[in-house]
Structures are given as structure tokens and as C-alpha cells.
Amino acid sequence: MAYGRDLSFIYNNPTRIIFGEKSVADTGIEVDHLRCSRAVIVTDRGVVEAGLAERVEKALGRRYAGTFDRCLQDSGLHLVNEGAAFAKERGADILVSVGGGSVIDTAKGMAILLKEGGQLQDYAGFQMLSRPQTPHIVIPTTAGTGSEATYIAVIKDWDLNTKLVFGDYNIIPKTAILDPTMTAGLPPQLTATTGMDALTHAVEALHALQCEPIADAMALHAIRLIVEYLPRCVEKGDDLAARGQQQIAATMAGIAFGNAQVGLVHAMAHTVGALFKVPHGLANSILLPYVMLYNMDECAGRYAMVAKAMDLDTRGLSDREAGEAAANAVWALTRRMGVPQRLRDAGVPGESLAEAADLTLSDASIVYNPKTVSEAGEVLELFRKAW
């Protein structure tokens, strides 16, 4: 897809990025850099039990004000409320999230409530905030969500069984500390599925309606890095060089989609995550190639770019043929890493696909898909193919 004279966009990337082995030791310095003094760690029990939160606590030193460790796989409104109350009680003026996407999103929600008060659901939607929120430093322990550098948080309403999207430039984390040693203990399957989340972000950023050249560059290089280094991370978890490159790729993909948006893959993944508790990275991994084939009529040229970034031989191929090769390469990559290939393998019941298709149409991500999706039947057909 070529850009014409009508190209117009705003590129935003305000997050300060610190990278390097053992860079987590600089957490206290980064708190000082933001002129804060009382930091609450936001995390989950798994991270605590792995000893990772303790490393951050030690790095914070006198700035440490407590740890909220009740985050779960699907961040919920009630957990954000609990966390915000905890942080307020401890007098926190900054949050340090240590974990994966759900932990980071929980902290983003807490940052809103600490500043604004009220009910978190009142701020659901896009650009609902009028001022910067509580400062937030992110230390990822997975390498996939890119949430450390995005303006998006997805929080589940457990009562209504739906996921709310909060999109606002005022919740972009101030700092991301990318330390490969913080991801070295991640199990192979979780490494693979969170890594596929990053690949999905990069591919969807390329095909989203708000795609633009700077985000394209971020997305394409993220794809190159993921294809080369993610299998190495899965096969040899203590390969810190590979872990580091995958972390960089995930952050780049996050910056890309934070500017260009995503599309139908995420709309469908959000739905099966809300209804059936399918981990987000796994849902994206399964659905990505099916949606690529569905969108092919509208953006074959974009997927031909994906094929080249995946180092596929596209000589003599049309854009469509190259794009189809890219979709097939996604399947090959997930098979190589032992990632489940079908929704049924992820616990999605076949009799509930129609319900999932209906709910997908109301997800905000669908608006940016390159191919207009207006009928639940179209989504249902894709779910059935992926089931």
C-alpha cells in the first residue's frame, strides 16, 4: 500500500525506555527522575513467588511503600478498586507494575482512580481524561503485550462478563524498564503465546486503517525480531540475548499499534477472552492467520510486506500469494512452538460461537479493521473456521 499526498497522522511515543540486563536495579533512580517518593508495586502472586517483586522492592529502597499482589489473568474492575484503595492508604505517588499485560492494565486503572476517584467504568472509552494521571513505571515479566508503551488498558467487568477498553494518552506509562533477566523464568508455552500477542500487534498495526509510515517501521522490524528470536526464547529459556530482542520487539509492536490501532483479530480475541477465559495471546495466535486471509481482498500488499519481514521468498509471487504465504508462515511458527491451533483446544465451546460473534461486533477494535465487518454472520464463519 503506497501513501499519497493525503497522508496525515499524529505519532505519539512518550514512554522513556530503559533496556539492559539487570536494569531493574535502576528502578529507584527512575522514581527519582519522575520526582516521586512513595512507590507501590503492583503485581501478582506468581511474580512474588518467583522472587521478581523482591528485586524491585530492593531497588526501590526507601521509596518502597508496599505491594499489591492480587492481580489475576483477567484484570477486573473490583481488583482495580482494591488496588487503588491500597495505594491510596499507603500514600503512593507513583505505581510500579511488575508483570504481564493484566498486571500493567490493572496499574493503569489504579492510576486513574488515584487521580480522578469515582468509578473506573465512568472513564471507559477513548480520551475521557483531561489531565495526566498518576505516574506509572512498568517492568514487564512477559514479552508480548507492549502495554508498557501504549495508551490502552483492557479491564474486565466480571459481573457483566465483558471487557471495557480504556484508551487515553494520559495513561501511557512514563517509563518502561526492559530487563531480560525478568523474563528468563517464563515457561515455554507462556513465552510462545505472549510472543504471538506481539506478532499480532505488529501485523494488525500494518493493516489497521490508521497505519502510517513510522508505525509501519516499528511493526516491520518487530516482525523481523519475533520471527528470529521468539523460537529461541521458547527452545532455550535462559537465552538472555534472545529474551532481550523479544522484549524490544514487543515494545516496538506496542508502540506501532498504539499509534495505528489493531482490528478484527483483537475484537475476536477480546470476546473469547471475556466469555471463555482464553488467554489473550493464545486467542490472538489462533485467530491471526484466519483474519489475515479474510482481509486479503483489502490489504494483500500489506501482508506481502509481512511476508518479506518474515524472510519468506516472495520472488515471482503476487501480493495476494505473498500474503497467503505469510498467513501460512504464522501457522508454521505456532506449530513449531507447540501452540494450540484451534479454539476448541483452548476451551471454547462450539455451541457458543454465535454468542461470541454477536459480542465481537461491539468491540472497539473492529472499527479499525481494513475490511468493514458489519454482520455477525461474517464473524461467526471465521470463528467456525478457527474452531
- If asked whether residues 237 and 109 sit together in one domain, one would say no
Question: Is residue 11 one of the residues assigned to a domain?
Answer: no
- If asked whether residues 308 and 378 sit together in one domain, one would say yes
- If asked whether residues 103 and 147 sit together in one domain, one would say yes
Q: What percent of the chain has pLDDT over 70?
A: 100
Q: Does pTM surpass 0.75?
A: yes
- If asked whether residues 52 and 125 sit together in one domain, one would say yes
Count the neighbouring beta carbons within 10 Å of the beta carbon of residue 35: 9
- Residue at a domain's end among 160, 182, 204: 182
Nearest of 103, 144, 49 to residue 337 by alpha carbon: 144
Residue 165 — very low, low, confident or very high, per pLDDT cuts 50/70/90? confident
For 43, the domain range is 16-182
Question: Is residue 3 one of the residues assigned to a domain?
Answer: no
- If asked whether residues 263 and 237 sit together in one domain, one would say yes
Question: Is residue 27 one of the residues assigned to a domain?
Answer: yes
**Residue 138: CATH number of its domain:** 3.40.50.1970
Show Cβ contacts of residue 223 under 8 Å, excluding neighbours closer than 6 positions.
199, 202, 203, 249, 306, 309, 310
**Residue 202: CATH number of its domain:** 1.20.1090.10
Question: Is residue 312 one of the residues assigned to a domain?
Answer: yes
pLDDT > 70? residue 283: yes
Q: Where are the beta strands (DSSP E) in 179-295?
A: none
Question: Is residue 367 one of the residues assigned to a domain?
Answer: yes
Show Cβ contacts of residue 94 under 8 Å, excluding neighbours closer than 6 positions.
31, 34, 36, 38, 39, 40, 134, 135, 136, 137
- If asked whether residues 170 and 213 sit together in one domain, one would say no
Q: What is the rounded CA–CA span in Å between residue 31 and residue 90?
A: 16
Q: What is the rounded CA–CA span in Å between residue 313 and residue 80?
A: 47
pLDDT 10s digits, 60-107? 999 999 999 999 987 899 999 999 999 999 999 999 999 999 999 999
- If asked whether residues 224 and 367 sit together in one domain, one would say yes
- If asked whether residues 199 and 165 sit together in one domain, one would say no
> What local confidence, expressed as pLDDT, does residue 1 receive?
61
- Residue at a domain's end among 131, 160, 182: 182
State the total domains in the chain.
Answer: 2
